[in-house]
Amino acid sequence: MDKSCESARLLSNNDELPDGSSTLSFPAKQSSRHLFITICMLLGLSVVLNIVHTVGFMLSSGFGVAQPLLLAKVGPHLTVQTQWLQTSRYSSRNDTERDVHWDNINYDNGLVAVPESWARDRDLPMGSVFPWDNTKRIYLINAYHAMHCLKNIYRAFMEYQESLPQSIAPEHIHHCLDQIRSDVICHADDTPRVTTSDMRPVTAECQIRTCRNWEALNAWTLANPACYRYGDPEVEDEKESQIERMKFCPEGTPELEVVRKYFNKGKEWLPAEEKLWSWFEKVPKKGV
Ligand SMILES: *[C@@H]1O[C@H](CO)[C@@H](O)[C@H](O)[C@H]1NC(C)=O
């Protein structure tokens, strides 16, 4: 990169441009009265445009065809400042440690059950009925689907590297790659990654960026559980009924009692306490 680029100064309103012109110039003879009228006209136009825009928005959200939301804005919708790092435990050079961290990623709580009215208020298409409370509908929060996809892709690659049989169908991996691709396009993240002037430049090193608050989203999903566990797909996908995957209602939820009745269990039965499935049950040599 050209050295001078590093010290490029920002132009203020009246700074001279390289060709000698100014960014905000009026002919000298223009009277201040003329300027005042121009500003009043611009303000008036701005007010009219705002009204048009607001009425248009009300029409589109109230009476017209429902527009899908950019983001559903579930939960508190907070942001945090985070530092971008080149490496993390998920890219550790120690295969054993890296595998353990990827295996520990749990996206089950991304499946949520929300009141039907909540979904209606957000113009969402209706999800499937929650079996333990038919006033609720089931949704999978997109970030958790992406996490499921990344974990699948990681696992397929790990199996390839270790010459193990592929446990996930190639179509599933292609679907996952395509979903993440479409997330990238959808989010069109325009954050400029700062570059270094090294021979082989790196970008975004230690840069601070603004992120959606994952912890807040996670807390919201945990407060609206669909009691779901994906488990071992090679076993669970084959089952005739999928209801077993939905029995993991945490203590304190009104649905736990319904689940206990359904499965003929007593108060001592705490399905959410069951051990989470780990892929090391299939790949024992990496268990720690
Ligand atoms: C990798 O991590 C595991 C678990 O922490 C450790 O036992 C092992 O010694 C590490 N291997 C190397 C090569 O550092």
Q: 54 CA to middle of ligand 1, Å?
A: 60
Q: What is the pLDDT of residue 89?
A: 96
Q: Kindly tell me if the per-residue pLDDT of 83 is higher than 60.
A: yes
CA of 155 to the centre of ligand 1 (A): 19
119: closest CA among 132, 130, 106, 108?
130
> Model confidence over 197-251: pLDDT tens digits?
888 888 998 899 999 889 988 999 999 999 999 998 888 888 988 999 999 999 9
Average pLDDT, the chain: 80
Backbone dihedral angles phi then psi of residue 112, each to the nearest 5 degrees: -120, 155
User: Quick one: what percent of the chain has pLDDT higher than 70?
Assistant: 72
Ligand 1 nearest-atom number relative to CA 95 = 1
Q: Decide: 96 in ligand 1 pocket, CB within 6 A.
A: yes
Tokens 């689940």 sit on residue: 259
Q: In the chain, pLDDT over 90 holds for what percent of residues?
A: 58
pTM over 0.85: no
Query: For the segment 260-278, what is each residue's pLDDT rounded down to a tens digit?
Result: 999 999 999 999 999 999 9
pLDDT tens digits along 6-33? 333 233 333 333 343 333 333 344 455 6
User: What is the C-alpha separation between 224 and 231, in angstroms, rounded?
Assistant: 20
Q: What is the pLDDT of residues 114-136, one digit of tens each?
A: 999 999 988 899 999 999 999 99
Cβ of 97 less than 6 Å from ligand 1: yes
| Contact 94 CB / ligand 1 (< 6 Å) | yes
